[in-house]
Structure 1
Amino acid sequence: MTNTSKSALSGIRVIDMSRVFAAPVGAQILGDLGADVIKIERPGVGDDGRGYGFSWVPGKDGIETRHSSFFTVSNRNKRSVTLNHSKPEGQEILKKLVETADVLIENYKVGDLKRFGLHYESLKAINPRLIYCSVTGFGQDGPMAARPGYDGLFQATGGMMAVTGIPEGQPGAGPLKTGPSLVDFVTGHNTALAILGALMYRNRTGEGQYIDIALLDSSVAMVSHIMQDYLISGNAPPRLGNGGNGGGPADLIYCSDGIIYLTAGTDEHYRRLTVLMGQPELFTDARFDSNFKRGKTNRAELMEIINAWSRQFPTAEVQAMLDGEGIPAAKYNELADVWEDEQVRHRNLRARTPHAWAEAGYVDLIESPLARMSESPASIRMAPPMLGEHNREILNELGYDDARIAALEEARII
């Protein structure tokens, strides 16, 4: 797809000096919304994220794409330029880009870019309207600001692991990290939100600004209502395993051939469930006559009763019965099953995208959740770039001729 005036951020240019996952996700969201995102990578090496993950996109004719799962999921809709910013010639190119840019995103160690005159104060002098966003583990100041940080550290330190995992007293009890890098992912979204807010502020005032985004801040905030529960009561809620955090019963239920997640979280949902199970007396049973008892204190006992009922039937039949009564429930899917789910297919969440260097000629990406905006939908216009794929294109845009570009290549500036 080509960019059009219907794109929300058409005409906005973003310089993406970030690596790995959190900040690249933020830049990608801006790209999905139509911004021209120019990704700055180290010559010959590129984004560290190109080497992360378990799988890589196979290249055609033996080409090494270096499109790992980490890189592929967070770098679509970007153009790649290789640039050695430690050299004066590289700094010159970057500053020329800054003159044309609206946003710069970086996730270097605190103070690292200042050594090269590429910190906010220096670039603000070149472009006062610039929005400069730094993404770090612990923030720009404080006793831990200099520490490096990755997702798992913040799941541990921010409280997420304290409330995730098998309940105490059960086999395997203890804290667990979530499967995906959720702190990184949420931080990426917070990055994009902050930048969108800064763009709105600039529209009103003409002023750019500096943004300090920290994984630590996101990791504490994303514990959300469970953390708020602690702030209200002073008591840490227990880990509930697969149990719901709101009303109950809410948990996995096991059928004769599969698993369903059930959330009968209101009194009316629970009443309908007891009738469906042929045990209406459970609705007024003193063990289960409040949401708190069903969801917390007597949850395990109630789930045993529900599972004794659900195991008699296949998954499709249990799902149909629950749907018929309007009781919220959904089939548990392995990853392969997700893409066969009829609603996932209906929503076109598997986005097949042309990829000139891939063996298959395309790569399957995950559609943006913002693709259903009625007037300015997010869109996938380009597959993630090859390393330095757009060097010549972008340098030509800055006025560099072919001879000068060749000299920069020979000097390993690009």
Structure 2
Amino acid sequence: MAGFVKGALAGLKVVDLTQMLAGPYCTMLLADQGADVIKIEPIDGDPTRQFGPFRADDEAHHFGAYFQSTNRNKKSVALDLKSEEGKALFRRLAADADIVVENFRAGVMDRLGIGYESLAAENPRLVYAAIRGFGDPRTGASPYTDRPAFDVVAQAMGGAMGITGPDSATPMKIGPGVGDIFPATLAAFGIMAAVHHARQSGQGQFVDVAMYDGVLAMCERIVYQYSYTGKSPVPEGNQHPILCPFGTFPAKDGQVTVGCPRDSFWRELVAIIGRPELATDPRFLTNNDRLAHSTETVAIVEEWTRNHTKAEISTALDGKVPFGPVNTAADIYADPHVLARGMLAEVEHPGSATPVTIASTPIRMTATPGGVARRAPLTGEDTDAMLSGLGLGSAEIADLRARKVVA
């Protein structure tokens, strides 16, 4: 993209074996900040290329929106890792890599003969990261190690679903794939911590994030709540078990959120809604008082919000009380904040006549901003260039392609 400035991770070489969401999101974070991410795909391509939605005029279907979003800024090399020649090429790519990332089930890479210890013997400073449902035995053998897992499994087991929903009898999945995305973000952090250590010591290491563990860490509140009270937290709708008022409220034209984690916000709120006497009412003086009278507190706020539009509430509370409308995707596209922060990135979509929009990086840096510079790659789009870089000639690459060792 015009005006793109390389990110702070420029010069880092990442060999990326990941598929689905958790692994690709992790390596996307690295690519957005300038790392050279080489995505290793099967000969027929990453299966998630077939996940939609697709543009109406895209008859080629090289990939859908699912793949485009989290594989931008990456290169693609297609290898048959079940063949000895394919594994040998992978080893050569990993020999000078800073990072290898995979999210297969535990033991898959070891059985192929290209697991961490094997690669580290040739590249001692290698940082090798794995994102699995229940972790890797190298860092703690879980009784669930061999189970496959996806976002919904991690949300359920890690505690997110157990505190989400309208009531204690109705646990619900959180809309975004937080069971993938949060562990992926933790893995990216762990990778960079390990890279820092490797640069200082010359010693790489194995970085392991279990999706279950990641969601549990995200739900840290339930851990201390159970420790302090002896009770397991349950879904409580759209209010908060510790702060009050703090949740969603009805407006004339939708829903809004209002939060008063500090008593000063409550005093400001009741003045704005024309109930200044509530600022000195002993039932509502402190957060703990309001929590003890949560039904009355919530009713007071609802009585005011339900008689105003989202725009009116925004005007009244702007800059004084934490507030936000419950936005749809269409609302987000129209929000001036999103425009000002450049949070929607346009990229080419092969097979479509017009660009598509994906979420940009929220990480902003003044000297090395990084960002979205390139669409997701076609299957094997960079195979020739990468293999040429390893010293293979065009005839040798053509032979490998004819025998389906590469694509």
The two structures share one fold, judged by TM-score above 0.5 = yes
Query: What CA deviation, in whole Å up to 9, does each residue of 1:160-215 have, x standing for no partner?
Result: 111111134xxxx4111100110200111111111100110011101111112211
The structure-2 alpha-carbon separation of the partners of 1:351 and 1:67, relative to structure 1 and needing over 3 Å to count, comes to: same
In the comparison of the two structures, how many residue pairs are matched? 402
Which of 329, 340, 351 is the aligned partner of 1:335? Answer: 329
Partner residue in 2 for 1:360: 353
Partner residue in 2 for 1:204: 200
Which of 292, 299, 302 is the aligned partner of 2:297? Answer: 302
Q: Which runs of 4+ in 1 moved over 6 A?
A: 2-5
Q: How far did residue 220 of structure 1 move?
A: 0.8
Q: How far did residue 314 of structure 1 move?
A: 2.3
Q: How far did residue 354 of structure 1 move?
A: 3.5
SS of residue in 2 equivalent to 1:73: helix
Q: Normalization by structure 2: what TM-score?
A: 0.93
The unaligned stretches of length 5 or more in structure 2 are none
Specify the code of the residue in structure 1 equivalent to 2:62. T
Matches of 1:12 and 1:301 in 2, distance apart?
56
The structure-2 alpha-carbon separation of the partners of 1:26 and 1:100, relative to structure 1 and needing over 3 Å to count, comes to: same
Q: How far did residue 347 of structure 1 move?
A: 0.7
| 8 Å contact from structure 1 (residues 15, 103) kept in 2 | yes
Partner residue in 2 for 1:250: 246
The unaligned stretches of length 5 or more in structure 1 are none
| 8 Å contact from structure 1 (residues 51, 68) kept in 2 | no
Matches of 2:39 and 2:56 in 1, distance apart?
22
Partner residue in 2 for 1:167: 167
Partner residue in 2 for 1:137: 133
Instruction: Tell which deviates more after alignment, 340-349 or 360-369.
Output: 360-369
Specify the code of the residue in structure 1 equivalent to 2:84. P
Matches of 1:58 and 1:395 in 2, distance apart?
35
SS of residue in 2 equivalent to 1:409: helix
Which of 37, 54, 62 is the aligned partner of 1:65? Answer: 62
Q: RMSD over aligned Cα, in angstroms? A: 2.0
Q: Percent identity?
A: 34
Q: How far did residue 2 of structure 1 move?
A: 8.3
The structure-2 alpha-carbon separation of the partners of 1:312 and 1:216, relative to structure 1 and needing over 3 Å to count, comes to: closer
Instruction: Tell which deviates more after alignment, 297-306 or 21-30.
Output: 297-306
Q: How far did residue 330 of structure 1 move?
A: 1.1
Matches of 2:366 and 2:174 in 1, distance apart?
33
Matches within 5 A, 1:2-401: 7-44=7-44, 46-52=45-51, 54-57=52-55, 62-69=59-66, 71-140=67-136, 141-168=141-168, 173-244=169-240, 246-294=242-290, 296-323=291-318, 326-355=320-349, 357-370=350-363, 372-401=364-393
Query: What CA deviation, in whole Å up to 9, does each residue of 1:71-100 have, x standing for no partner?
Result: 222111110111110100101110110122
| 8 Å contact from structure 2 (residues 163, 233) kept in 1 | yes
Q: Normalization by structure 1: what TM-score?
A: 0.92
